[in-house]
């Protein structure tokens, strides 16, 4: 829960990535929506960061988070994986999106490998 200490732009970038993952499979499940709201509350994202994050494109979001610590990026990754699998399974488009995000953030090798 270290994300609650991030500044407005980094929180907005995180919102943008969450929206990217949720929309990856063109099917927004109710459980994804509920978890998205829970994450926003737990990490104290706030309305300003949420509204700004809706305006961030993927490139801006990734560039904004690229310089975060490895610990912060791995926490972001954990939340994104939770979102992707909250509807019961990670669909292929979500998997591709997650892989691209983690690669671009430079944390692909730091994450546990699938069995």
What sign does the dihedral 8-104-1-27 (CA atoms) show? positive
Exposed (0-12), middle (13-18) or buried (19+): which is 97, by Cβ within 10 Å?
buried
Q: What is the pLDDT of residue 112?
A: 58
**For range 75-96, the mean pLDDT:** 93
pLDDT in tens, 11-60: 999 999 999 999 998 888 899 889 999 999 999 999 999 999 999 999 99
The whole-angstrom separation of Cα 72 and Cα 77 is 9
Q: What is the pLDDT of residue 97?
A: 95
49 domain residue, yes or no: yes
Total of domains in the chain: 1
115 domain residue, yes or no: no
For the chain, state the CA radius of gyration.
Answer: 13
39 domain residue, yes or no: yes
* CATH assignment at residue 50: 1.10.3680.10
pLDDT at 115 over 50: no
Domain interval for residue 10: 2-108
25 domain residue, yes or no: yes
58 domain residue, yes or no: yes
């Amino acid at each position: 829960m270290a994300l609650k200490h991030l500044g407005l732009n980094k929180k907005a970038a995180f919102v943008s990535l969450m929206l990217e993952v949720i929309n990856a499979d063109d099917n927004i499940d109710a459980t994804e929506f509920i978890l998205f709201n829970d994450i926003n509350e737990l990490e104290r994202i706030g309305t300003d960061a949420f509204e700004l994050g809706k305006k961030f494109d993927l490139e801006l979001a990734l560039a904004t988070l690229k310089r975060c610590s490895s610990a912060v990026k791995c926490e972001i990754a954990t939340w994104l994986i939770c979102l992707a699998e909250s509807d019961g399974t990670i669909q292929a488009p979500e998997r591709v999106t997650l892989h691209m995000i983690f690669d671009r953030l430079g944390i692909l090798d730091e994450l546990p490998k699938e069995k």
